[in-house]
Structure 1
């Protein structure tokens, strides 16, 4: 994204913010990496579902039939959001962590003692421990790929060496929820596939910030959680059709053997899934209203209908967040005694999302977060479940870091208020 790239979103922030009822209060939400505020489209879908079609699955009566129609549409909408070939490749669950713990049992069932897998120290623990536990159960070796502590980028040379051992699986994040680093995921997937390795992508941190295309990436599995992209507490897994068909599903006997239901155990959170549909409809609205200038750039990609609107919307969001990221980086660098972790080069903003972690002088991160909360600015402190990152940076025993993360409903004025508050706290 060029630094001088024009963005319609920045000129229409009032209209964008009106789509988020929670923003109508004297608070600044920079806690977005831990969960965004919900879009009105999502709230409306939840209410409509609970009032008009709240019923269990596959009944012969009207509300059940209507409920199934909503859930089917949600699967199609997520297939469009991921650009998956089929809605049958979309599996809903409680969240990314639960889905990963579940699917890891199915994937690891095919491992043999002495096999190897590859994990990274840059990942959220939800894309680490499920695989470590599975490896322990199956007698499989875990090989680790480190990241550069100076700039927070994954060491691709180390990854290449690990892949030369022909591991069964590589689990890797699209973007770091701690340092904001966007991994060169398309390149990484090709490296893994050249070694005959399956790839499981944690896209939770990236999904709110830019377009995803699982077909272009050629990933085997990709998962995100909708409460990180303006929807409900629900996780959504994509898996290649032939892989999902082949995998053994841990389920009860009456449950279907058809996709995707064979992996959607028990009664799902129907109103939550309806809310996910609403979040996708919000992105579609963003694309329709503000994504027109990106049509030319997307014209050669073959997207049509809702898929095109979604890619326009996410491209518009990415463009505006480039502005926010540049402003946040400048603001944090202006605070005396602040140490920023991860990429801090303004020329490399394309390689990160607008999520920044830092420490302020010798202050405990929780104290900084509490003082910001007193100013009406909401941020996270600690390790954010990216335990390997905080340990590797040597800050885990010191309370971790403070994390601020922008979403596209944040404003440049809010960034300025954050800077002023941090300067005040640092004195």
Structure 2
């Protein structure tokens, strides 16, 4: 007979229930997985079929509030842009101007009901048409995507910040805050401070805004990691009054107490030339392009440049192949290995990174189009669709080494990067709303 479980004999205090719940979820996950893959049909899954003509759950449920991860929001933006690319050039210019015009008047405190009814009515229906607030979390959302979706969906798109160790939410943007690229002020009961990170060159005395590692304190901070005392001692500190968790994220405080996440310690790589590169920042830029579903950027202290692993969007990749007179019916692995298509995609992504204001050493020099699909089942991304960098780099180790061997020194890297800017091809993508004319100039 097995000895009784310690959890069964424990007193049911609030803290013990939290630990038990955390353990139970992991235990139940295995059972749930076994049930899902069982050949029998569960009653709960039998009723999930949609009525004919219904596009998806959101169009049927018409939610008024919604939480989503940035990867899904990027896909929504790309879907809107791809539909728009099928329209005439005049309509594309009108849409781009409407984006800029609406952003201009929103910042002045005005609404644009006529534009919402005429231009953005179709895009608003993507998520049911009744949305009043859309919250993004789990990873940074680019400012361009946040502004774009806020205009198209005609609702505030807010960013929040938090971790499992801080019981999820630590900050959240105000409903009427029009600032993009920030995660808002601390929530009630949460304390946040910045501490110097000497190695990365971030200090609370920096100007114009204080910068440093984000440290979260308060009653929402966890007691520690289960049966991991060394890891707990490394990340949790108690000053006698407040328990603090060192997040590993780098942030800066803006006026009005708004927090902006600018880096992550684990994502910073020091190149051979001494420059620090934020891998997460580059990945966020790449994922805004219609060709990219997901990306993993790799850097090395032995080289002066970074390389990128790309999970391409299959539909967009096939349209691009068609525009280059490549057989559209080729499979995804065949398209990923096609040298003409690969060269064209490389040039396009290089130009996209440059236009997104990445400096020269941040622009990936080599790209690998991955034929594998990155899913939680393949353990290449988490359930929240965040990349598992270590697993991805292990799987594509040979490809990464081959990309680095292709460029021998800094001089050839610079020459290669410069040559790509003059060899771009025309892609069937819509112009960015940021390239539209100034609304004040149009009014004249």
TM-score over 0.5 (shorter chain): no
Higher helix share: 1
Q: Pick 1 or 2: higher relative contact order, CA cutoff 8 A, min separation 6.
A: 1
Q: With the length of structure 2 as denominator, give the TM-score of the two structures.
A: 0.27
Q: With the length of structure 1 as denominator, give the TM-score of the two structures.
A: 0.28
Question: Which is higher, the Rg of structure 1 or of structure 2?
Answer: 2
